[in-house]
Amino acid sequence: MEWTSRGIVLSARKHGETDVILEVMTPDRGRHLGLVRGGRSQKHRPNLQPGNELEVTWRARLSDHLGTFTVDPVKARTALLMGSPLGLHGVQHVAALLRLLPERDAHPNLFGALEVVLDHLDRFDIAAPLLVRFELALLDELGFGLDLAACAATGATDDLAYVSPKSARAVSRDAGRPYHDKLLPLPPFLADGQRQPGSEITFQDVSEGFRLTGFFLDRHFPQDFAGPLADLRSHVATSLEREYRSAFPWSF
């Protein structure tokens, strides 16, 4: 069997003296692993860094075998990602999220979202809402999507301010006010049309976004969320807070 596709490197772990097992995210084959012979060589090592994009050709005798990859570089992101703590932690974070997906399941929308996130990890103000939206997209792809289009109680589409932890649906400010302590805040940038043009997305908005997605990730993937994934999210949040405090100290 053989196929060729684009692949974004999620990880490359040592295998034997000279080889690596490469983990990539592809648009049409999903998250896929394969052996790269000589992957620890000076020729291959720079290309097999997390976040880089490759053209990968996978070959195996049977479809359920690990198989081997041959790789050619397409887009290098190493310098961009290694330039800041957010870049380093961000690429590890999205890779950990993608490991919640079944291996070899195609998710082209997530592949596209991954490209966008990785290309903007050098801009914290752009990366922050993108990372929250990436987590929302992942929940949706896994069948646990949130319905943020209209109020679950009234059907209204204006002034959405909360999310019900039970139904995962949006709730308007008026309808949710009596129960605000039992509802999750919905930051304006996640509610269509709620953020005024020209207004900034604050660190509080981002924190509420991560709190929202984190609640549902923890509900549906408690074992994964209690381990490295939670630690990586914490590192990302810390990196973002540092960037926001430096750029917008008056907002704290």
Which strands, in side-by-side order, build the sheet including 184-185?
170-172, 160-163, 184-185
pLDDT score at 200:
84
pLDDT score at 233:
94
pLDDT score at 192:
67
pLDDT score at 177:
96
pLDDT score at 194:
52
Tens digits of residue pLDDT in 154-207: 999 999 999 999 999 999 999 999 999 999 999 999 986 555 444 689 999 999
pLDDT score at 196:
47
- Smallest CA-to-CA distance from 136 within 117, 156, 155 is with 117
pLDDT score at 215:
97
89-113 in b/e burial notation, b at 16+ Cβ within 10 A?
A: bbbbbbbbbbbbbeeeebbeebbeb
Our CA dihedral for 83, 46, 17, 62, rounded to 10 degrees, sits at 110
pLDDT score at 110:
98
CATH classification code of 2-76: 2.40.50.140
CA distances to 65, 150, 228 from 8, in Å: 21, 35, 21
d(CA 247, CA 85): 16
Q: Phi and psi (nearest 5°) for 32? A: -135, 145
Query: Residue 252, SS3?
Result: coil
For the chain, which ranges sit under pLDDT 70?
Answer: 192-199
* Percent residues over pLDDT 70 in the chain: 97
Task: List 25's β-bridge partners, or say none.
Answer: 8, 31
- Smallest CA-to-CA distance from 142 within 150, 134, 153 is with 134
The 8-class DSSP code of residue 123 comes to -
Going by C-beta distance under 8 Å and a sequence separation of 6 or more, which residues neighbour residue 63? 1
pLDDT score at 226:
80
Task: List 172's β-bridge partners, or say none.
Answer: 160
The 8-class DSSP code of residue 147 comes to B
Residue 34 tokens read as 């394969």
Give the number of other CB atoms < 10 A from CB of residue 80. Answer: 16
Where in the chain are all domains bearing CATH 2.40.50.140? Answer: 2-76
pLDDT score at 198:
46
pLDDT score at 181:
95
